[in-house]
Amino acid sequence: MNYQETIVAIATPPGKGGIGVVRISGKNLKPLAQVILGFVPEQRYAHHSNFYGNDGQVIDRGIAIYFVTPHSYTGEDVLELQGHGSPAIMNLLLSRCMTVGARLAQPGEFTLRAFLNGKLDLIQAESVADIINATSEQAAHCAVQSLQGIFSKKIYGLVAAITELRVLIEATLDFPEEETENLHALKISKRLVTICATLQQIFDSSRQGSLLQEGIRIVLVGEPNVGKSSLMNQLAEDDVSIVTEIPGTTRDAVQQTIHINGVPLHLIDTAGLRETGDIVEQSGIVRTFSAIEKADMLLLVVDSSNMNTDDIALPEGLPSALPRITIYNKIDLLKKEPAITEDSGGPVICLSAKTGEGLPLLRQKLLSMAGWQGGVAGEGIFMARQRHLEALYQAKVSLRNAVLLAEELSQLDLLAEELRLAQQALSTITGEYTADDLLGEIFSSFCIGK
């Protein structure tokens, strides 16, 4: 990909709208502006102007704004043409820009250029996509905090603290052994413990942010006619699954995402597990086990008539290690009250999917087992991705090793190496140390106009 080329894309969503925006970015857009507008706009000033086509005819009339490098989103010259939100008009403007030297931007290329030109670090660049894709108020709030650089500042602070220790230790490697006493006096071990504690706090906050973004996959399993679909509809607060008294009604996996306190939970209602000669139902059961393989948690739904059974055996083929909540459904038929207990297999909740009794207990337990620690996204929660958590974990491992080595300070070369590895892992989060293939993977998930 040639980052010296001028790029263009429609920056507003597909479809009709009151306003549509075509965004152009590149080196010196004055010639392009002259051709399309008939003049070079004043910097950062909204001009009401005609947009001219190849034949000199007016394509549209709207607002043109010219941002000159480096005072733009991408750090290059940027020209935004804000016209009427007709798909036909937007495509005509897009084609016009391409005929005068621009090429169609790749997904995320505007934000990638902002990163490469130092306008954003990698965390902030990713938070742009997170804001666009946020599905709850809490997720959007945390993504905005990351865009403002709060998460980045935490990581930069850790890197600076580790760098300071590396300088002291690597300098000592070039001096006689008695210089090691200076490291004891500088309390290297104590400072490392403090850095580890700070890293743990960031890791915990990031894990909460990752949960807000990613959520967890929860599969409802059980025998036919135990109320899985009714429970799905109650949690979704909508009739997303067909409910009848005929066992085996659900033949395919039905998916629905719900939000509890802003945390997305991806529910999958599945075909009932039983021996059957019905080919279609057998296919549904195969899909049930396919969904289970990708699940983070199981809701094992059981008819409340089995409530007095000491232990409910897992249906054959279900992974015993997967976290699960056992649901005794239809307590309304037994005139019993909702309740929550624990057994060797995990939480047990008695409820009625028909009346909704006990649903608050289930929602609270789902959040708890998902790892959510607060009802509302606080100021300290960062919108984090799985790669952030992996990098933070790698840094934790290296720093733990460094703490052990710092107790004796007898193997300074190994200590210096562990600190280097921790610093490198943290630097991948902000993009100071990042492989090109990772950049391609990250920005390919963006929309084209961003």
What residue spans define the domains of the chain?
7-120, 126-211+385-431, 218-370
Q: One-letter amino acid identity for 245?
A: E
- Token representation of residue 117: 């030109």
Beta strand 297-303 with 324-329: parallel, antiparallel or unpaired?
A: parallel
What pLDDT, on a 0 to 100 scale, did the predictor assign at position 214?
A: 79
Along the 450 residues of the chain, how does pLDDT read in single tens digits? 778 899 999 999 989 999 999 999 999 999 999 999 999 999 999 999 999 998 889 999 999 999 999 999 999 999 999 999 999 999 999 999 999 999 999 999 999 999 999 999 999 988 888 888 887 787 888 888 888 888 999 999 999 999 888 888 877 776 655 555 566 656 788 899 999 999 999 998 888 888 887 788 888 888 888 888 888 888 888 776 555 555 555 545 678 888 888 888 888 887 666 555 556 555 666 676 677 777 788 888 888 877 665 555 556 667 777 888 999 999 988 888 899 988 877 899 999 988 999 999 999 998 888 888 764 444 567 778 888 999 999 999 999 999 998 887 778 889 889 999 999 999 999 887 665 655 666 677 677 777
Q: Taking the domain 7-120, which CATH number applies?
A: 3.30.1360.120
Q: In this predicted structure, what is the pLDDT of residue 370?
A: 82
pLDDT at 253: 66
For the CA atoms of 357, 359, 362, 367, the dihedral, rounded to the nearest 10 degrees, stands at -150
What is the rounded distance in angstroms from the CA atom of residue 69 to the CA atom of residue 429?
27
Given this model, what pLDDT does residue 49 score? 95
What pLDDT was estimated at residue 30?
Answer: 95
CATH C-level class of 126-211+385-431: mainly alpha
Give phi and psi for 440, each to the nearest 5.
-60, -40
The confidence score (pLDDT) of residue 70 equals: 93
Phi, psi of 72 (to 5 degrees): -150, 175
User: According to the model, what pLDDT value does residue 379 have?
Assistant: 52
Distance CA 420, CA 425 (A): 9
Q: What is the pLDDT of residue 278?
A: 55
Distance CA(150)–CA(155), nearest Å, equals: 9
Contacts with 223 (C-beta within 8 Å, 6 or more apart), sequence order: 272, 273, 274, 302, 303, 315
CA distance 146 to 101: 35
Q: What is the pLDDT of residue 376?
A: 40
CATH number of 218-370: 3.40.50.300
Task: Report the pLDDT value the prediction gives residue 140, as an integer from 0 to 100.
Answer: 84
User: What's the rounded Cα separation, in Å, for the pair 4 and 252?
Assistant: 50
Which residue shows structure tokens 């954003």? Answer: 120
Angle at 113 between CA 110 and CA 115, to 5 degrees: 115
Non-local CB neighbours of 334 within 8 Å, separated by 6+ positions:
304, 305, 307
Euclidean distance between CA atoms 75 and 71, whole angstroms: 6
CB 327 within 8 A of CB 301: yes
Residue 2: per-residue pLDDT: 77
